[in-house]
């Protein structure tokens, strides 16, 4: 499924795909941009889960797994083999014996154990703890009841046994940069934050706060012949208009495009060929609080889905830079059911459903939103008259994105609009709706449905892959029927890529996150 989408979505990259058949050129400089702010949070990647920071971290660090964009799944990175036993709970990793840290020491199982123990340090607040907690004994370390994670056992320098608490694919838990492997001897030093050392294809050269991170090729990288480029520069560029000028001026090799620029680039014959796009694993939606009486009724929630002309909003306001959502799981989810159809725009049906639910004249609710151009205030303002047509009045409450995140987590809303990661692990994405998931974790809608719980639980237990897919698809369909949210869209991530930069991967988890060792620049690049 993912391959098909990637092929369609990557048509614009046809030229570069052809060029990739050429022999990759050694040397040159790759100039990427970090568009989500004017600074990086930290050089200690264990402390930050922001997409912005992972852009440079993909060059500097490596985790046990990495994301394979072509297949749409996590694959082993620092291990050559994973032998599963113990009913799917015990994983024995045969680690690479050719992975060297940037200070020259070879990675061993001790480094992985040290890194995961660090992340679980209960006196600190490393966001990766939510992933490492799946290892048996990790929670005890977090609570200060143990010094080391009991579920991690070093068999020898290059064999690591990992015992999990749940039968899950550890790839989904250990591919992000927040679980990067640090050198045990260096990671604890104060100087590490100033000059980080990793296992990635590029080593640290400099960080000019508020400007850029510069990395250079690590010659002892374990993938033979890689990386191709000599240098990787990640420049901070949060202003879209400035990025546009810099891209046209050939000063940068990649630029993330917003809706307005997406339209402009498509219309420009000179730039159209530079567009790379992929459906990302993010779902935009309006969450409804069942604690607010009208939203407790399924018919009201369905009415809202019918009352909004979602396709019109996607085409006119989001400028086609999104895919219509049919339910919770996104297009690039491995269990996405393409036979599902979205709610039809049908105000008459919406009115009928409202009448059935006891709201023939409608009702009023407060809608909390950020200013985001793709899923915030402009969208809400466009929807207000649509809901008004069926009798629903909206009172807008505008907040900053950081405040919105807190508002949602606390359940302090009647309705809100948001963009949320709904992958890559479909099991984890659906588990947010499980009745055992607290609202403060990710069940923001206080969704409780015994049938849904049963399907998700069974999917987690079964060894039959086909059955698992079937159960998760059914659970996703049940969400469609229950409509705890207004299903808006799946984000279409769009990046402009200069024609001389080859090897861009259509990464559905975050397009800016590239396995940079696979990128190369041809001789037409102006950066030498």
Partner 1 sequence: MLSFAIRRILQTVPTVLAVVLVIFVLFSVVPGSIVSSMNDDGRGPADAQVMERMKKQLGLDDPVYIRFGSYIAKLATGDFGTSFRTREPVTTMIAKRMWPTLQLIFASMIFAIVIGVPLGFVAALRPGSFVDTISMVVAVSGLSMAKFWLGLLLMYLFALKLGWLPSFGYGDGSLKYLILPAVTLGVSPMALLARTTRAAVLEIMTADFVRTARSKGMSETRVVKWHVMRNALVLILTTIGLQFGALMGQAVVVEKLFSWPGIGSLLVDSVLQRDIPAVQGSILVVVLFFLTINTLIDLLYGVIDPRIRYA
Cβ nearer to partner 1, comparing 93 with 418: 418
Residue 402 CB, shortest distance to partner 1, in Å, is 4
Token couple for 5:
């989408």
Q: Which two tokens stand for residue 272?
A: 């159209």
Partners of residue 353 on adjacent β-strands: none
Q: With residue 20 as reference, give the H or E element that holds it.
A: none
Minimum CB separation from partner 1 for residue 18, in Å?
28
What 8-state DSSP symbol labels residue 145?
A: S
CB of 434 to partner 1, least distance (A): 12
In the bound state with partner 1, the residue whose beta carbon lies nearer, of 360 and 438, is 438
Closest among 249, 223, 222, 224 to 237, alpha carbons compared: 249
Residue 406 CB, shortest distance to partner 1, in Å, is 3
Interatomic CA distance for residues 359 and 270, integer angstroms = 53
Q: Give least dist CB 433 to partner 1, A.
A: 12
CA 442/CA 439 separation, integer angstroms: 6
**Measured distance CA(444)–CA(424) in Å, rounded:** 19
| CB nearer to partner 1: pick between 249 and 339 | 249
Q: Can you give the binding site for partner 1, defined by CB under 8 A?
A: 36-39, 41-44, 47-52, 122-127, 129-130, 142, 193, 208-212, 235-239, 241-242, 245-246, 248-249, 251, 282, 399-406, 409, 418-421, 432, 438, 440-442, 510
Instruction: Please give the C-alpha separations between residue 460 and each of 134, 135, 436, 441, 455, in angstroms, as whole numbers.
Output: 14, 16, 14, 19, 9
Closest approach, Cβ 450 to partner 1, in A, equals: 22
Half-sphere exposure of 513 (CA within 13 A, CB side): 22
CB of 473 to partner 1, least distance (A): 22
Listing DSSP states for 390-410 in one string gives TT-EEEEEE--HHHHHHHHHH
Residue nearer to partner 1 on the CB measure, 34 or 472:
34
- For residue 244 the two structure tokens come to 């546009």
Tell me the C-alpha to C-alpha distance, in Å, between residue 186 and each of 141, 183, 191. 21, 5, 8
| 225 CB-near residues (< 8 Å, 6+ apart) | none
Q: Can you tell me which residue has the tokens 């006891």?
A: 358
- Compute the distance between CA of residue 56 and CA of residue 442 in angstroms, rounded to an integer: 28
To the nearest whole angstrom, how small is the minimum distance from the Cβ of residue 369 to partner 1? 13
CB nearer to partner 1: pick between 45 and 475: 45
The packing angle between helices 377-389 and 298-307, to 10°, is: 110
Q: How far is the CB of 161 from partner 1 (least distance, A)?
A: 25
- Quick one: 150 or 238, whose CB is closer to partner 1? 238
Nearer Cβ to partner 1 (251/356): 251
CB 510, min distance to partner 1, A: 8
418 close to 282: Cβ distance less than 8 angstroms: no
SS3 94: strand
DSSP state for residue 183 in the 8-state scheme:
P
Which ranges constitute the DSSP H helices of 51-174? 51-60, 109-119, 129-132, 138-142
Identify which of 136, 87, 82, 71 has the alpha carbon closest to the alpha carbon of residue 462. 87
Least Å distance, CB 247 to partner 1, is 10
Distance of closest approach, residue 209 Cβ to partner 1, in angstroms: 5
Q: Which is nearer to partner 1, 172 or 452 (CB)?
A: 172
**CA 128 to CA 118: how far, in whole Å?**
10
**Closest separation in Å from C-beta 212 to partner 1:** 7
Choice between 93 and 126, CB closer to partner 1: 126
Q: Which is nearer to partner 1, 443 or 449 (CB)?
A: 443
Give the integer Cα–Cα distance in Å for 311 and 193: 47
User: Measured from the CB atom, is 49 or 266 closer to partner 1?
Assistant: 49
Nearest to residue 88, comparing CAs of 459, 462, 430? 462
- Of residues 288 and 428, the one with the C-beta less far from partner 1: 428
Give the burial class of 104: count Cβ atoms within 10 A of its Cβ; 0-12 exposed, 13-18 middle, 19 or more buried.
exposed
Q: Which is closer to partner 1, CB of 45 or CB of 95?
A: 45
């Amino acid at each position: 499924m993912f391959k098909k989408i990637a092929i369609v979505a990557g048509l614009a990259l046809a030229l570069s795909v052809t060029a990739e058949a050429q022999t990759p050129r050694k040397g040159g400089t790759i100039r990427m941009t970090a568009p989500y702010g004017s600074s990086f949070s930290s050089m200690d990647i264990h402390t930050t889960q922001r997409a912005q920071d992972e852009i440079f971290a993909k060059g500097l660090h490596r985790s046990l797994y990495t994301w394979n964009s072509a297949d749409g799944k996590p694959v082993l990175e620092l291990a050559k083999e994973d032998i599963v036993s113990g009913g799917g709970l015990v994983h024995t990793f045969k680690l690479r014996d050719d992975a060297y840290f940037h200070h020259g020491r070879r990675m061993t199982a001790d480094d992985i154990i040290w890194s995961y123990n660090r992340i679980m340090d209960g006196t600190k607040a490393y966001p990766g703890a939510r992933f490492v907690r799946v290892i048996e004994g990790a929670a005890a370390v977090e609570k200060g009841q143990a010094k080391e994670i009991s579920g991690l056992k070093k068999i020898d320098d290059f064999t690591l046994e990992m015992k999990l608490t749940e039968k899950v694919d550890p790839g989904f838990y250990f591919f992000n940069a927040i679980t990067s492997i640090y050198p045990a001897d260096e990671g604890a030093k104060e100087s590490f934050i100033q000059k980080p050392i990793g296992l990635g294809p590029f080593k640290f050269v400099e960080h000019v706060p508020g400007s850029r991170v510069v990395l250079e090729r690590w010659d002892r990288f374990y993938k033979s012949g890689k990386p191709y480029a000599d240098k990787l520069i990640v420049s901070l560029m949060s202003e879209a208009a400035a990025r546009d000028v810099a891209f046209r001026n050939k000063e940068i090799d990649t630029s993330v495009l917003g809706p307005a620029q997406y339209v402009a680039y498509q219309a420009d014959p000179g730039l159209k060929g530079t567009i790379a796009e992929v459906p990302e694993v993010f779902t935009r939606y309006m969450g409804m609080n069942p604690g607010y009486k009208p939203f407790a009724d399924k018919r009201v929630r369905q009415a809202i889905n019918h009352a909004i002309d979602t396709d019109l909003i996607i085409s006119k306001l989001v400028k086609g830079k999104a895919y219509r959502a049919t339910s919770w799981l996104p297009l690039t989810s491995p269990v996405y059911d393409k036979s599902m159809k979205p709610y039809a725009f049908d105000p008459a049906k919406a009115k009928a459903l409202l009448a059935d639910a006891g709201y023939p004249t409608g009702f009023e609710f407060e809608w909390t939103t950020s200013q985001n151009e793709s899923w915030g205030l402009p969208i809400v303002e466009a929807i207000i008259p649509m809901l008004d047509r069926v009798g629903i009045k909206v009172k807008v409450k505008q907040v900053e994105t950081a405040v919105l995140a807190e508002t949602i987590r606390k359940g302090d809303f009647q309705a809100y609009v948001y963009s949320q990661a709904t992958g890559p692990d479909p099991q984890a994405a659906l588990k947010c709706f499980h009745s055992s998931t607290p609202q403060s974790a990710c069940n923001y809608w206080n969704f409780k449905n015994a049938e849904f719980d049963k399907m998700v639980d069974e999917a987690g237990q079964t060894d039959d892959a086909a059955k698992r897919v079937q159960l998760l698809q059914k659970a996703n369909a049940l969400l469609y029927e229950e409509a705890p949210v207004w299903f808006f869209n799946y984000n279409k991530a769009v990046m402009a890529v200069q024609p001389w930069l080859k090897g861009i991967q259509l990464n559905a988890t975050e397009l800016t996150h590239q396995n940079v060792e696979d990128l190369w620049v041809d001789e037409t690049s102006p950066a030498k």
